[in-house]
Structure formats: C-alpha cells, structure tokens
Amino acid sequence: MRAVVQRVRACAVHVDGVLKGKIDDGLLVYLGVGRTDAERDARTLCDKIVNLRIFTDENGKMNLSVLDVGKALLVVSQFTLFGDARDGRRPSYTEAAEPAAARILYETALRILQGSGLTVAAGEFQASMEVSYTNMGPVTILLDTEKRF
C-alpha cells in the first residue's frame, strides 16, 4: 500500500458538489492499494501514519504524531499512486489493485484508523473527488509498505 501524507489545515473533499469529508486540522492521507497488498499492509501503513512524527513540539522540532496532538485524519482513496510513467508518457496502472480488492483494503484501513481513537473523515471510494486543503509547512511524506521509496 502507498500513502501520501500531508500535514494540513482546513481540508475537505467533495463529490459532485456534495461535502463527503472535512477536518479542520490534522493529516490528509491519499491512500492507494496495490495488487499484491493484504490486510497486514493496511495494518503496517496505518500504524506508520498515526505514529509518524511530523507535528512540532514545544521546541519547534517535528517530534509529535497525530496521536500525540489529537488531530484528525481525512483519508482519500487514490489508485493513481500506483501509476508508473517510467516508460512512455501515459502512466500504467497494472500495479494497482482491482477495484473490488482495493475497496476491501481501503475500508479495512479506515476501520483501523478509526480504531486509533482519532476522528477520521473519508472521501468516496472510486469517485471523482475535489480535494481542497492548506498544507502546513508544507509537510508531505511518501509511504510505501514495500519500501520502494
């Protein structure tokens, strides 16, 4: 599984003009599921997300996690995280999971994150979404359970 994690303020996701999820302060997580991913990948990635130390402490150092600061998460499914544009100009998505399998792991990840005690908002799986946010820092972290980057 892959995630792009951004420290944000005033983050929202809409589908066809309808608000699907919103947080005031916390992490925006774009979440992609690969074709070989399993529940263990969801657990590993979710643990990394909630414990990632990217919020500043009293000394101005990025030393606190979203759990430490008690902020919220907005999770948006994004199969394009598995886009491969190394050959040619049109990305290939052959490494992305098929929609049915991806939905199961996306929903599993949402349940795991909700189990952390944090407020978790979400977009709509397999929908065309409009995401708006203010990236704080900016701080953007790339995560991959297979550690490809």
CATH of the domain at 53: 3.50.80.10
Range 63-71 contact pairs with CB under 8 angstroms and sequence separation of 24 or more: 66/26, 66/27, 66/118, 67/116, 67/117, 67/118, 70/118, 71/23, 71/25, 71/26, 71/27, 71/118
Q: Is residue 132 part of a domain?
A: yes
Distance between CA atoms of residues 44 and 61, nearest Å: 25
pLDDT at 149: 72
Q: Is residue 47 part of a domain?
A: yes
Q: Global pTM?
A: 0.96
Q: Is residue 148 part of a domain?
A: no
Q: Is residue 20 part of a domain?
A: yes
Query: What secondary structure does DSSP assign to 47-100, as a single string?
Result: HHHHH---EE-TTS-EEE-HHHHT-EEEEEE-GGGG-B-SSSSS-B-TTBPPHH
The parent domain of residue 17 ranges over 2-143
Q: Is residue 149 part of a domain?
A: no
Contact predicate 73/66, CB 8 Å: yes
AA letter at 51: N
- Closest to 22 in 3D by CA, of 118, 147, 106, 131: 131
Active site residues: 78-80
pLDDT at 145: 96
Please enumerate in sequence order all residues whose Cβ is within 8 A of that of 59, keeping only pairs 6 or more positions apart, or say none: none
Count structural domains, the chain: 1
pLDDT at 148: 82
Q: In the chain, which residues have pLDDT < 70? A: none
